[in-house]
Structure 1
Amino acid sequence: MASPITTALRQSRFLNIASTSQARHLATASTPTPPPPSSTQPPTHYRITLKRSAIGLGHAKQGTLVALGLHRRFQTVFHPHRPDIAGKILRVKELVEVQNVPEEAVRTKEEMTRERRATRGFKVIGRRMGVYP
């Protein structure tokens, strides 16, 4: 017959194992990801950003990146949802980051450059000859 001390020890070990197992399950349980920001329009374009370089890869993968319009790391391009574009993305999926965006989020190269550009740092409030802008 087991002594009350060993019985209590076994029970506390069991409780410790059970609580650890439950905590581990809760820690690894998949949490629902928040929905993307709601927009009025459905996604119609891919926003493709080159995250890894294609140096050392075959000519086929490098050619696919050129066909997508990606030449430098962290360069971003927009393409409409089409099967041929989806196939090109699948060929280089390890190198790029892809997001689905609505048409209102599509930017041209000039617009993206203008958004990144710093402000002038000054504001013209008048001219020397009294002519105001």
Structure 2
Amino acid sequence: MWALLPSKLSLRTSSASRQSVRQWARSIGTDASEQVEPNTHFRITLRRSAISLPSNFKGTLVALGIHRRMQTVYHKHSPDIAGKILRVKELVQVENVPASAIRTKTEQRQARKSIRGYQKVASRLSAVDL
């Protein structure tokens, strides 16, 4: 019985099914032969405040490097970071991201900045018939 299992698996991964996977990948804008970058980091964002919580929760947030709401930090996947996240899981939002998605504090600040100055969109005089 166990000897038949690999042959059944090989039937399921026939060239026709591989071709359909490639077609599906092309339809969503990627190629199945491309190497997808693995997720290697946690993106941790503090969503809820730690006010009125015990000091051990606040200490865990400080150990993660989070000091205020809506602050985002990046950490490599590791067991100790995962344990800290589980400790404060009700307060944070966690996403797995590849190394290319990591942004420094300066890059995050630049993304939040508004465009300096102003732009003229339309003139009221040209819109009103005189």
Return the TM-score normalized by structure 1: 0.61
RMSD: 1.8
Per the TM alignment, residue 114 of structure 1 is displaced from its structure 2 partner at its CA by 0.6
Identity rate of aligned residues, in percent? 62
Mapping for residues 26-105 of structure 1, pairs under 5 Å: 40-105=36-101
CA apart distance, 1:40: 2.6
For structure 1, the residue ranges without an aligned partner over 5 or more in a row are 1-37, 124-133
What per-residue deviation string (whole Å, max 9, x for no partner) do you get for residues 50-91 of structure 1?
001111111110000000011111110000001110000000
After TM superposition, give the deviation of residue 119 of structure 1 in Å: 1.5
Cα distance in 2 for residues equivalent to 1:73 and 1:120 = 26
Distance in structure 1 (CA, Å) of the matches to 2:92 and 2:118: 38
| Counterpart code for 2:52 | G
Runs of 4+ in structure 1 deviating by more than 3 angstroms, as ranges, are none
Aligned residues between the structures = 86
* Residue 122 of structure 1, CA deviation: 6.1
Aligned letter for 2:41? H
Is the radius of gyration larger for structure 1 or structure 2? 1
TM-score using structure 2 length: 0.62
Q: Which runs of 5+ in 2 are unaligned?
A: 1-29, 120-130
